[in-house]
Amino acid sequence: MKKHSNKFGLAVVIAAIVFSTALLFIGCESTLPDSKDNNDNNSKDSDGSSGSSGTTFTSIENFKKWLDAKPANTAATAYSVKLNVNDLGGDSYYLGSVGYALGGVNKTKYVSLDLSGSTITSIVRQAFWNCTSLTSVTIGNRVTSIGDRAFLGCTSLTTVTIPNSVTSINRLAFSGCTSLTSITIPSSVTTIDKDGHIDTGAFSGCTRLTSVKFEGTIIRNDFGEFSFPGDLRSKYLAADGGIGTYTRQSGGSTWTKQPS
């Protein structure tokens, strides 16, 4: 009887040890970070991080999610965004494009966009077509062309920085940008609205544009006749024209080259 009692006692002790070990394991496991949650947090940290120059994104999808959750603002309080991508996603009406991200309900959310960290080589046609909440854009220095209708109808656009890598500005690229007051055309640009006509001017309809600085030379055949409002093209191509800054009165048709 005593022998059986000893065996029973030993079994109880072993069972107690196993049970305690199991509880300890479960307790330790519950304190370990979940690998999926940890990866998600890392993704948030790497995309949508804020800094002195704005909020940075490497994904258009994440940029759209972030903007969707933001409240409406004003042009004076535009959200500063750095978008470091290798593709703008095409036409602004394409799901997944940056133009699409700025459209719809997000048209009440003004954005200042910096593309200088992107690896894109062109602003594709209609990329920002009718993005009426875009207030400024800095184009990256890998970009060589600004496509047809790229910024057509961006009525809140006041500032555009074109790098000295762009060689062509195509038809209707900035047409209807009614808040744009000045623009600098870098020396790298050799064609503006080439083969364009009266309805395709690259800067047509820019009613508040009063100052244009040309830093280089564009020959007559590569400079669309209706690229700019008024007589700017003819003044630039005149014998005393060329490189320099040209101004006009708001809404006027006569441009004047300013002394250098």
Whether residue 29 has pLDDT greater than 60: no
- The model's pLDDT over 36-73, given as tens digits with 9 standing for 90+, comes to 333 333 334 357 777 766 899 999 999 999 999 999 99
pLDDT at 174: 98
Edge to edge, the sheet with strand 49-51 lists 49-51, 54-57, 79-83, 111-114, 134-138, 159-161
Question: In the beta sheet, which residues pair with residue 208?
Answer: none
Least Cα distance to 170 among 117, 224, 206, 248 occurs for 224
Structure-model confidence comparison of residues 30 and 224, the more confident one: 224
- The model's pLDDT over 71-83, given as tens digits with 9 standing for 90+, comes to 999 999 999 999 9
Least Cα distance to 179 among 139, 150, 218, 151 occurs for 151
Q: Which amino acid is at 156?
A: S
- The whole-number average pLDDT for the span 207-211 is 97
Structure-model confidence comparison of residues 122 and 35, the more confident one: 122
Give percent above pLDDT 70 in the chain. Answer: 82
Backbone dihedral angles phi then psi of residue 51, each to the nearest 5 degrees: -145, -175
**pTM of the full predicted structure?**
0.81
Q: Could you give all domains of the chain from N- to C-terminal order, each with its CATH number?
A: 51-257 (3.80.10.10)
Whether residue 9 has pLDDT greater than 90: no
| Structure confidence at residue 95 as a pLDDT band (50, 70, 90) | confident
8 Å CB contact between 257 and 240: yes
Q: Mean of the per-residue pLDDT values for the chain? A: 85
| Structure confidence at residue 28 as a pLDDT band (50, 70, 90) | very low
pLDDT at 13: 39
pLDDT at 46: 53
Secondary structure class of 252 (helix, strand, coil): coil
- The whole-number average pLDDT for the span 238-247 is 98
Distances, alpha carbon 109 to alpha carbons 47, 54, 156, 185, 225, in Å: 20, 15, 11, 29, 36
| Structure confidence at residue 185 as a pLDDT band (50, 70, 90) | very high
Sequence length of the chain is 260
pLDDT at 50: 77
Angle, CA 146 vertex, CA 247 and CA 179 arms, to 5°: 40
State the CB neighbour count (10 A cutoff) for residue 95: 9
- The model's pLDDT over 113-153, given as tens digits with 9 standing for 90+, comes to 999 999 999 999 999 999 999 999 999 999 999 999 999 99
